[in-house]
A and B are shown apart, each in its own frame.
Chain A
Amino acid sequence: MPSAIIEASRIIKDYGSFRALHSVSLEVGTGEFVALVGPSGCGKTTLLKIIAGFEEPTSGELKIAGSNMDGVPAAKRPVRMVFQRLALFPHKTVRDNIGFPLKLAKTEKVEADRRVRAMLDLMHLNPSYLGRYPAQLSGGEQQRVALARALVSRPGVLLLDEPMSALDVKLKKSLQAELKNLHRNLGTSFVLVTHDLEEAMMLADRICVMRSGRVLQVGTPSEIYYRPVDTFVASFIGDTNLFPVSIANGQGGSVAFSSPIIACDSAIAPKAQCSPTIEGDRASLLVRPEAMRFVEAGNAQPFATLNGKVEEFFIKGASIQFRIRVDGHPVPVVMDLPGTPNIPAAVGADVTIGFDRSDVFLLQE
């Protein structure tokens, strides 16, 4: 990781008797894109507000660009925020909204105008919008103006508080792509708060998964997806398969597991596919839906198989999702196959499904 621009260590935040953050530590590297992800109330927005300077931590230390931020007001921090509801000034034109930080910094008029226009260009906004008011713009355009206002004074860190949660899917996708592009071109550090792990995985270099005021895991999108620390992180992205298994130490540090519903000749997972936090003789076996496939009799058998009945399937376009009821498992097993016009199995069909050893991961139940 490059040198850290944000160093938050052991941040505690209490609201009365409620502890919103339990000793949270996080580092954001210069030029890095970090996403804070978690369900509502997990403390991700509180952490962002502490970084922005809108909230004081109860205890702990926050350094930005090497300086301690104790008692430094929001106005004096080298960070800018894009608000969830954007917070564009309704009584100011696009020009005055974007130029507001420059006006406060007493930037010379010609220079300020040049930079406002440059931001407009960067955000692919038409220069004729300069004289408009925020209410005259579409949701996506308002979004860009908010980004432009936050970036115009070239902050070291851009904080984004779920700025895309109110947009429709198509617009969201295009803005996400733009945001990623923007980050690559500017070299500014981005910290994005979102409850959407998929969005975080698309955009961020590293993801910090939070729950109930604690950091559960910090890692690259791949680490979060394939090597989650616990079942909460594993299932946060949406549908996934977690099978409860009994485990025992195998040879060479590998772990042997067994489950009454999984048929497997040598049920051994290499050490690298086991979470280091596993304790006792119970664990959860994680198999992502896209690692599952149908097994036809006579063909080569995969590492492990399950028998069940197709309960439902959904055509999602690029993929088809099957939900397969397996006796002895409380929830349907989820399987994503590449999209095809020929549906391989009908509802109610008895099927065998399987997965490979390289696709399993064992983690604390």
Chain B
Amino acid sequence: MRIEHKSWRDPLLIGATVPLALIMILFFVVPLIMTGILTFQSSRYYRLAWTWDLTIWRDVFGHSHYWVVMLRTLGMSLACVVLSVLIAYPVAYGLATRLGSLRHHVTILITFAFLTDTVLKTFGWILVLDQNGVLNWGLSHLGFEPGAVNILFTPTATLIGMVYNLAVYPIFTLYLSLARIDRDLQLAAYDAGASRFRTFFEVTLPLSRPGLYAGAALVFVLSLGAFLEPKVMGGGNAPMASELINQSFSTRVNWPLGAALTLVLIVIGSASLALSAALTLRRRGGEQGRLSDVG
């Protein structure tokens, strides 16, 4: 539907959009500006001092500690994206093409697992990964020595938790992309002489890119803000950005520092979203990518 230029004069439309716009401004734009303003102040004796200088920004970019945490966060997020997509692709592919009538049952199961409280699920992993947990108990019955797997409270455990909690996003975005691919395109590739393997890389994978980019961006952005998994499963040994920000606000009562770190994270997240959108929307000839391609 084409939106007419005069639509801004339509009182009904204004009536419908103004409340939402106000809420967005009040609860999103204003806090963001306040966060920005905070970064130019300082903290003295656990109190906010209105100094209007760049001290905090110099701190943030000058201290190796912050770099380490930020790079660790980026590394963990990238690893989480790769693992989530690798796990999600076969699941989404199976859902879209193989399961037939079972598809709806499996979708419901995945949705239930997704809707279960994340805190519960994350603590549940402790029961599995603990030295005396389910995994080691099972392995010991298979002839491994007791406590063979000792990864709880390490970054590996954090990553497992993050992938477990976030893989569902690419499953659904990829499912939507894969389900839209015309089956005839794959038949046409077979007909032209392509093997199943070749058909996947020539046809299926390129056409599922919108779902791939969207899923990857979602996982990446949500990974940047991962708080629960590093705390619960990582044992707090290797804090990620969100933990650092939390400490800046609550323990160290250094609001300007927390605000600056938050903005860094927001910029990285926004940039990755923009990259994903650009890749999806990239004009491939007449095949104009659309955000609706991912649902």
List residues of chain A with CB under 8 Å of any chain B CB.
52-54, 73-76, 79-81, 83-85, 87-91, 93, 100-101, 104-105, 131-137, 149-150, 153
Contacts and interface: CB of A to CB of B under 8 A. Distances in A.
A136 B193 contact: no
Contacts of B279: none
B184 A85 contact: yes
Nearest to A136: B286
B225 to A, nearest CB: 33
A101 B192 contact: yes
Given A85-B184, A89-B185, A149 B192 contact: yes
Given A76-B193, A89-B189, A100-B189, 10 more contacts: A53-B191, A75-B192, A80-B192, A89-B188, A90-B287, A104-B194, A132-B285, A133-B284, A133-B285, A149-B188
Residue of A100, A132, A150, A153 with highest tally of chain B CB at under 10 A: A100
A306 B191 CA distance: 55
Contacts of B188: 81, 83, 87-89, 149
A57 B16 CA distance: 59
B181 to A, nearest CB: 10
B285 A75 contact: no
Nearest to B185: A87
A54 B199 CA distance: 14
A135 B285 contact: yes
B117 interface: no
Contacts of B191: 52-54, 74-75, 79-81, 150
A246 to B, nearest CB: 52
Nearest to A73: B190
B182 A87 contact: yes
Interface string B193-205: 1110010001100
A133 B182 contact: no
A105 B193 contact: yes
Interface string B57-69: 0000000000000
Contacts of A76: 193
Contact of B286 (A54, A73, A101, A134): A134
Contacts of A73: 190
Query: Which residue, B206, B207, B285, has most C-beta atoms of chain A within 10 A?
Result: B285
Nearest to A83: B184
Contacts of B185: 87, 89-90
A132 B284 CA distance: 9
A101 B193 contact: yes
10 contacts: A53-B190, A79-B191, A81-B188, A85-B184, A87-B188, A89-B189, A90-B185, A100-B189, A132-B285, A133-B286
B173 to A, nearest CB: 18
B190 A91 contact: no
A165 to B, nearest CB: 14
Nearest to B199: A75
A147 to B, nearest CB: 13
A135 B287 contact: yes
B193 A91 contact: no
Contacts of A133: 284-287
Interface string B90-133: 00000000000000000000000000000000000000000000
Nearest to B289: A91
B54 interface: no
Interface in B200-218: 202-203, 206-207
B292 to A, nearest CB: 15
Given A87-B182, A91-B207, A136-B286, A75 B187 contact: no
B285 A104 contact: no
A135 B184 contact: no
A100 B184 CA distance: 15
Contacts of B182: 85, 87
Question: 4 closest Cβ contacts across the A-B interface?
Answer: A133-B285, A135-B286, A136-B286, A87-B188
A91 B187 contact: no
Interface in B128-170: none
A104 B192 contact: yes
Contacts of A75: 190-195
A52 B191 CA distance: 7
Interface centre among A83, A131, A137, A150 (most CB of B within 10 A): A83
B198 A104 contact: yes
Given A54-B187, A87-B187, A89-B185, A153 B193 contact: yes
A323 to B, nearest CB: 41
A100 B206 CA distance: 15
B202 to A, nearest CB: 8
A87 B207 CA distance: 13
Contacts of B195: 75
A150 B188 CA distance: 9
Contacts of A89: 185, 188-189, 202-203
Interface in B206-252: 206-207
A91 B284 contact: yes
Nearest to B187: A54
A74 B189 CA distance: 10
Contacts of A105: 193
Contacts of A136: 285-286
Contacts of B285: 93, 131-133, 135-136
Q: Which of A87, A135, A150 has the most CB of B within 10 A?
A: A87
B285 to A, nearest CB: 3
B287 to A, nearest CB: 5
Contacts of B202: 89, 100
Contacts of A132: 285-286
Contacts of B190: 53-54, 73-75
A104 B193 CA distance: 6
A91 B182 CA distance: 13
A85 to B, nearest CB: 6
A100 B192 contact: yes
Interface in B257-295: 284-288
A79 B191 CA distance: 8
A101 B192 CA distance: 5
A146 to B, nearest CB: 9
